[in-house]
Amino acid sequence: MSSRMVTDNQRIAWVDILRFLGMTLIYWGHLGVSDNITLYIFAHHVPLFFFISGFFAGLSPAEGSFFRFLWKKIRSLVFPYIFFTILYYAVQLIMGEMVFRDLPKALLVSAEGIRNQAPGPLWFFTCLFVIVIAFELIKRICSAIFGRGKAGGVLAFLLAVVLFVVGICFLGHEPAQDPRWIWNVDSACVYIFYYALGALLFPLINRWKYNRRSGAGKFFFFLCFGLSVLFAVFTCFRGAAFTETVRSFLSKLLPGNIFGGALFEIYALVSALILIFMELCIARIISLIPAIGRFLAYVGKDSLYHCGNELIIKYFGRIALFTLGLNVVFQNDLLLLLYSIVCLIVLTFTLNLLERLVLGPLFGTGRFRK
């Protein structure tokens, strides 16, 4: 599967298309879809984005001092988190959805940056910042011991795996879905695995070409892709009941045992990786269609702006649909999917564009890379 098309500034098209697919899942999943669709989305949309985020991290330390790296990430992740939080509350105040006396408490909650407490998807900024800084420190320590070669990179990945095991086995709660630590440090222990996996596999994925495979290799690829699609379809129609069956079985198999929960997390990990593989294949296939691929890559490159502006576009989008009498959109999963895509496209050419032009220098770049 050759995927040589690139977007502006030599961006890799299939990566930006994968971002588009991931943001579509996030918008769709936050709209109150049916239980099976919710399970399908939440089984892999967050791991997918941490996986993508690791693509350009590499397994070797960044050039320059650590404090220079830290400042760069503060500008590209912490500053946007602050901006989008203030923007969201400003809209809430202007539209009468919040009274001013509640603002200090809301800002205090946002300062902690914990998922399910901070506004909408903005927790991703804080969690990603923790992961990026932690993995950079791990790489620098491993590099100091083994040098910048392959051994140090492999050790860095293995340490990320250790953190994953600690996260799912020894924290006493589900850090991925129910984080309790400031800036989602407990979630970071789990999601750093996907970030490190993206750093490890990206060179291999990016070099992989379908037309260079043997006949057996092509058959194996299509077999794996077909099975992943079947798994996705099954999840969308029967996933909720099946997942509860698996959870119940494991809890009975190892009642009161910490490893019962850990085994379920392994099942969740395998499910996420299968669905991520499917999304990767779809993104590579779409990138072969010049017009569609180029357009979706252009929309997808704004992923962090999409993340920051999600609550705002959905708020005004909902008002617009109800004003036009199109509230039926919110009663159908497929219409909600279409609505999510429209929201992403509208944002790309309106608010995202304005923010990128005005705030790019403050954040250290003209656009974000997730």
- Asked if the structure places residue 314 within a domain, the reply is yes
pLDDT bracket for residue 369 (50, 70, 90): very low
243-257 CB burial, b ≥16 within 10 A, e <16: beeebeebeeeeeee
- Answer whether residue 192 shows pLDDT above 90: yes
Average pLDDT on 41-69 reads 95
Higher pLDDT, 252 or 195: 195
- Answer whether residue 370 shows pLDDT above 70: no
Q: Which of 119, 72, 19, 18 is nearest to 362 (CA)?
A: 72
pLDDT at 248: 79
Please state the domain count of the chain.
1
- Asked if the structure places residue 325 within a domain, the reply is yes
Q: What residue numbers bound the domain in which 314 lies?
A: 6-359
What pLDDT digit, counting tens, does each position of 286-344 carry? Answer: 999 999 999 999 999 999 899 999 999 999 999 999 999 998 899 999 999 999 999 99
- Asked if the structure places residue 370 within a domain, the reply is no
What pLDDT digit, counting tens, does each position of 203-258 carry? Answer: 999 999 888 889 999 999 999 999 999 999 999 998 888 888 887 777 777 665 55
Gyration radius from the chain CA atoms: 21
pLDDT bracket for residue 36 (50, 70, 90): very high
- Asked if the structure places residue 366 within a domain, the reply is no
- Answer whether residue 49 shows pLDDT above 50: yes
Higher pLDDT, 353 or 240: 353
Higher pLDDT, 173 or 9: 173
- Asked if the structure places residue 78 within a domain, the reply is yes
What pLDDT digit, counting tens, does each position of 88-129 carry? Answer: 999 999 999 999 999 999 999 999 999 999 998 999 999 999
- Asked if the structure places residue 368 within a domain, the reply is no
Average pLDDT on 27-50 reads 95
pLDDT bracket for residue 9 (50, 70, 90): very low
Average pLDDT on 280-289 reads 96
Residues 304 and 127: their CA atoms lie apart, in Å, by 13
Mean pLDDT of all residues in the chain?
A: 90
Q: How far is CA 37 from CA 13, 28, 224, 280, in A?
A: 27, 9, 22, 19
- Asked if the structure places residue 364 within a domain, the reply is no
Q: Residue 198 has which token pair? A: 């993206």
What pLDDT digit, counting tens, does each position of 142-186 carry? Answer: 999 887 778 889 999 999 999 999 998 888 888 988 999 999 999
- Asked if the structure places residue 300 within a domain, the reply is yes
CB-based contacts of 196, cutoff 8 Å, min separation 6: 54, 59, 135, 156, 157, 160, 161
